[in-house]
Amino acid sequence: DAKTTQPTSMDCAEGRAANLPCNHSTISGNEYVYWYRQIHSQGPQYIIHGLKNNETNEMASLIITEDRKSSTLILPHATLRDTAVYYCIVRVASWSGGGADGLTFGKGTHLIIQP
């Protein structure tokens, strides 16, 4: 089972910041928080990941609480093209390279950007 909890859906006005929460209260010390999104009819797209420090890239910012039990993905200026399902995934940063591995997807948050 997925180790994260996300709201089923959220709305955000175009041009505003979209803040997507994720709870991961059972996260282990060596597990990172990854975010992916899936725009309709496309494969998932990597957004960002982090361990305990806040992270920022050209797509988004990731804010992780000090106790690491929750995090927030921030899209600073949402556009209509950001409408997608956003997945928060907790996993170790390394790939085993020797067998069963991969990402465990939960149900995600369906973010709808309103014009």
Partner 1 sequence: SAVISQKPSRDICQRGTSLTIQCQVDSQVTMMFWYRQQPGQSLTLIATANQGSEATYESGFVIDKFPISRPNLTFSTLTVSNMSPEDSSIYLCSVVTGPLQNTEAFFGQGTRLTVV
**Contact set with partner 1 (CB under 8 A):** 32, 34, 41-46, 49, 87, 93-97, 99-108
| Minimum CB distance to partner 1, residue 19 (Å) | 22
Pairwise CA distance, residues 12 & 114, whole Å: 6
Dig out the tokens for 55 from the structure.
């992270």
Cα–Cα separations (whole angstroms), residue 94 to 36, 46, 62, 80, 106: 17, 16, 20, 34, 20
| Residue 52 Cβ vs partner 1, minimum distance, rounded to whole Å | 13
Burial of 61 (0-12, 13-18, 19+ CB in 10 A): middle
| Beta carbon of residue 75, minimum distance to partner 1 (angstroms, whole number) | 18
Q: How far is the CB of 16 from partner 1 (least distance, A)?
A: 27
Measured from the CB atom, the residue of 14 and 44 that comes closer to partner 1 is 44
CB closer to partner 1, 46 vs 114: 46
